[in-house]
Structure formats: C-alpha cells, structure tokens
A = this chain, B = another copy of it.
Amino acid sequence: MGKEIASRSEDYSQWYNDLIIKGGLADYSAVRGCMVIKPYGFALWENMRDVLDKMFKDTGHQNAYFPLFVPKSLFEKEEENAEGFAKECAVVTHYRLKLNPEKKGSLMVDPDSKLEEELVIRPTSEAIIWNTYKGWIQSYRDLPLLINQWANVVRWEMRTRLFLRTAEFLWQEGHTAHATANEAIAETKQMLEVYATFAEEFMAMPVIKGVKSPNERFAGAIDTYCIEALMQDGKALQAGTSHFLGQNFAKAFDVKFSDKENKLDYVWATSWGVSTRLIGALVMAHSDDDGLILPPKLAPIQVVIVPIYKGDEQKKAIDEKVSGIVSELKQKGIRVKYDDNENSRPGWKFAEYELKGVPLRIGIGARDLANNVVELARRDTKEKKSYSMEGLTDSIADLLDEIQKSIYNKANSFREQNITNADSWEEFVRLLDEKAGFISAHWDGTGETEDKIKELTKATIRCIPLNNPQEEGKCILTGQPSNERVLFARAY
C-alpha cells in the first residue's frame, strides 16, 4: 500500500537511503555529491537549528556572517589547518562566463576573467574569521568574543552519502576568542556539554563524550572534544566536535591583545560545530523497517489526524470535532496536521505518516464521535489505544513526553548492550565482525598503532571518554603497557 522500503537487516544501506528519499527528507541533485534538502527534511533541520540557536544564545553567543570565500593566501596561513583541508577544497578561479563562439546557446569560462588570487570555498571558517578578529581585538575588554555562524560549507568528498557526507552541507560553526587558555578550555567543554544535552534531550540519542586521539584531531587544534553516537548497525557516528585551538590561529593571523597590565599576548581560541549530518544520525538511531521514527521534540509534525468516514455528513461532523482538537493542540504549542485530503484513503495515509515518522496518529471515525473517544497510535511502539475526548490535549502532551523518553531509553539500552571490552587482538577482531558496536580496549598511545589497527580492521579510536577510569593493561595490538581503555569502532 505505502512506498516500499528495504529492510534494515537485509540491506542497511539501502534502508537508510529509502528512508531519506521516500520519507521526503532529501533528494539527489544534479551536482556531484550535493543533495537537495526537501521541505520535510528542512523543517526538521529548522527545529534542530532553532533549539541549538537558543542554547548558543543562552550561553552568551551572538550570530554573525563571514564570507563564503577564503583567499588562498589567507587559507594557507595556519599550516596544519590548510594541509588538512587542501585535498578537499573547491576553488574559484574565474569570475565571468561568456558566449561560446563555437557552440550556439552555450557558455564558456571567460579566460580574461581569471582571478589574480584563487578563492577557496570555505571548508571551515577559521582562516577568514581569525583574519577578521585581528581588527576586532585589541584589549582584554574585547574578550571573550563569542560568535557563531550558520552557514554552508564545501568539502569535496570522493564518496558521498545523503546527509552523512555531502560535498556541500549546512552547519553552524562557533568561533570564540579568550584571554586565557583556561577560559578557552572551559568554553570548549561547555559547548561539548551543549551538544551532548541537545543530542540526548532533543534527538533522544545517547552519546559518549570524549577526546580524540591525536590522529583524529581537527587540523590545527590542540585538542578535539567530541560526542559519539551508536547507530543500529553497530557503527559509530561522530555527532559534534568542539576544538581547543590554543594560540595557533592567533599566531597565524597575528591576533594579540593587551591584558589589564598592558602586556601583549596572543589570544586563545576555540571552534565547535554540528551539521546536517545530525539528520543522518537521527534517522539511523531510531527508525525501523516501516520508516522514520522521529523524536517528538524535533518532529515537524508531532500529531497527525486522519478522518475515517463514509459520506459528507460523517465527514462534516468529524471536521467540526477535529477543528476544536486542532486549535486546542496548537494553543498548547503542539505541531498538528489534519490530513483530510480526499485523494488518498486512510490506510495509505497511515502508512505514509509511519514512513515519515510522525510520533502520534489520531484516527477518528463516526463511532468514535458517538463514544466521545479517539484512537491514538504511537509510531515508536505501534501501540494503539482509545482515549476519551475529555482532557485529550493533556493525554497527547503526556504521550509525546513518554515517546520522547521511550525512544531515548531504547537507543540507550541498545548502546549499553553494544559497548564491549576486548582484551586480546583475537577478541577485538571477532567482536568487530560479530557484533560491532563500541569496543573498549587498551592501546599503547601511538599514532602508528592506531594507523595499523585502522588498516587491519577499519576500526578507529572514536574517543578517549571523559572521566575515563584508569586501569593497567596491555595494548591489544602491540602488548605495550597502557593505563586506560579507549573506545574503538567502525564509524560513519
């Protein structure tokens, strides 16, 4: 009846694509590696953005907007950052097209419009922003500078995947400047907490907070903090990062400030970001073989009402009742849709809203009217139950809360079941292949070992968890001594 989607267990990757495309979140585009975010997907992003934006503002940040382009000479100033991103930069070299004299109706790049200096399309904005901060920061009175930007960025990826890895994506990037290292580190950690709270309370997605190993650090950072989530196929997904940048960018762009004693020093920096990738994470964290399962706090439609009727008279009576319900729900701030489109049958609509992950569905027919009840169907558990019209708005609000908690708990117990200790190389390899998930294991702390493990198993160190218990042990690959376990996983 509804649209066919692949089954999770048979073809996870096709299942994911089906959810995105058939669920109406996004579409492929004519541009290599770029996608179109469709209205339903964009409404989800707007909800995520609005919550995050408020959290950023509540912690004292302001939004601003910096140029899309980074002149090459600025881009290369912070060497580590530049080298890290050089391989995936889209570059503007010309600023004009002209008619192609050899092909009617066709345009060509005008060779006379070659730029003196190439412009990199921002893969991240540290360079252009720190070059600007130089003009904004002179004294300790100008600090801290707490700025965020919502923007599109471009990273030329060879293998792309809807939402998870696209050449262009939408994100926010916070860029802050501080008078001391400690303040900058506190900011880095504060924003990691903001991300973790957002992931857990709004996305209903449990995350592990940790620090990246040197190999996995952001290019140009002293430390990269991250939140890591677990997907249903046992692969990990980095859901947000917050970087302590030390004085690297201040030195590269010569940003100094005079402190209260009039002493000059370089400014301390952080940057932090989450992107439309979170939508991919959300989809993979909760959905099932019937479609998306969206957490009520972020769902574009929280409640859909479908009338079930024969003839105009029944329809009219239902319309009247529903109009009251709708306005009460709206008054309570609940996002509700009444789908009385006559071109599709109730059964088709049920399947469609299941596919789209609407948390609650109300079916209402003539008999329900007579009995003063409605049937509420939960998307997550598929449970259906009759509720009295009396106090319906409160019942719905309660149910939405319960669904939010319930899908978090489900994801959380899945995650708990999928963190496993490995104490030997054999166990590590076997676990990766049989069960995947996070594998907690000792590592000798070297980049070489990390590289070797990645080469052999495709697993990477996802993070060294915060407040990690100290424990004597031996590296699973080299047998060298180690004093804490780190989390390995194959990852998106």
Question: What residues make up the interface of A, taking CB atoms closer than 8 Å to B?
Answer: 27, 29-31, 34-39, 42-43, 45-46, 62-72, 74-76, 79, 82-83, 86-99, 105-107, 109, 118-121, 128, 131-132, 135-136, 141, 147, 151-152, 154, 156, 168, 170, 343
With contacts A64-B38, A74-B30, A106-B76 taken as known, whether A88 is within 8 angstroms of B83 at the C-beta atoms is: no
Which label, helix, strand, loop or mixed, suits the secondary structure of the A interface? mixed
* Chain B residues whose C-beta falls within 8 Å of the C-beta of A63 in the assembled complex: 39, 42-43, 46
* Chain B residues whose C-beta falls within 8 Å of the C-beta of A71 in the assembled complex: 30-31
Q: Closest B-chain residue to A131, C-beta based?
A: B30
CA distance A88 to B98 in the complex (A): 10
A-B contact pairs, 12 of them (CB 8 A): A30-B71, A30-B131, A30-B132, A31-B69, A31-B70, A72-B97, A76-B105, A89-B95, A91-B96, A92-B92, A93-B93, A96-B156
CA distance A413 to B267 in the complex (A): 51
Q: Closest B-chain residue to A121, C-beta based?
A: B92
Q: Closest B-chain residue to A276, C-beta based?
A: B65
In the complex the two chains form, is A107's CB within 8 Å of B70's CB? no
With contacts A86-B96, A92-B90, A118-B109 taken as known, whether A154 is within 8 angstroms of B68 at the C-beta atoms is: yes
For the complex formed, measure the closest distance between the CB of A41 and the CB atoms of chain B, giving whole angstroms.
8
With contacts A74-B30, A105-B76 taken as known, whether A65 is within 8 angstroms of B94 at the C-beta atoms is: no
CA distance A83 to B90 in the complex (A): 24
* Chain B residues whose C-beta falls within 8 Å of the C-beta of A42 in the assembled complex: 62-65
* Chain B residues whose C-beta falls within 8 Å of the C-beta of A96 in the assembled complex: 86-89, 91, 156
* Chain B residues whose C-beta falls within 8 Å of the C-beta of A131 in the assembled complex: 30
For the complex formed, measure the closest distance between the CB of A201 and the CB atoms of chain B, giving whole angstroms.
24
In the complex the two chains form, is A83's CB within 8 Å of B68's CB? no
In the complex the two chains form, is A65's CB within 8 Å of B36's CB? yes
CA distance A70 to B31 in the complex (A): 7
CA distance A99 to B87 in the complex (A): 10
* Chain B residues whose C-beta falls within 8 Å of the C-beta of A107 in the assembled complex: 72, 75-76, 82, 86
Q: Which of A36, A95, A141, A170 has the most CB of B within 10 A?
A: A95
CA distance A249 to B309 in the complex (A): 42
In the complex the two chains form, is A132's CB within 8 Å of B36's CB? yes
In the complex the two chains form, is B105's CB within 8 Å of A79's CB? yes
In the complex the two chains form, is A91's CB within 8 Å of B92's CB? yes
With contacts A88-B96, A99-B83, A107-B76 taken as known, whether A141 is within 8 angstroms of B343 at the C-beta atoms is: yes
CA distance A132 to B29 in the complex (A): 7
For the complex formed, measure the closest distance between the CB of A154 and the CB atoms of chain B, giving whole angstroms.
7
CA distance A38 to B152 in the complex (A): 18
* Chain B residues whose C-beta falls within 8 Å of the C-beta of A154 in the assembled complex: 68
* Chain B residues whose C-beta falls within 8 Å of the C-beta of A343 in the assembled complex: 141
In the complex the two chains form, is A128's CB within 8 Å of B64's CB? no
* Chain B residues whose C-beta falls within 8 Å of the C-beta of A45 in the assembled complex: 65
With contacts A83-B99, A91-B97 taken as known, whether A135 is within 8 angstroms of B27 at the C-beta atoms is: yes
CA distance A215 to B319 in the complex (A): 51
* Chain B residues whose C-beta falls within 8 Å of the C-beta of A105 in the assembled complex: 76, 79
For the complex formed, measure the closest distance between the CB of A409 and the CB atoms of chain B, giving whole angstroms.
32
In the complex the two chains form, is B152's CB within 8 Å of A68's CB? yes
Q: Closest B-chain residue to A98, C-beta based?
A: B86
Please give me the 8 A-B residue pairs with the lowest Cβ-Cβ distance, nearest first: A39-B62, A34-B67, A37-B65, A86-B97, A95-B156, A31-B67, A91-B94, A93-B93
In the complex the two chains form, is B109's CB within 8 Å of A91's CB? yes
With contacts A62-B39, A86-B98 taken as known, whether A31 is within 8 angstroms of B128 at the C-beta atoms is: yes
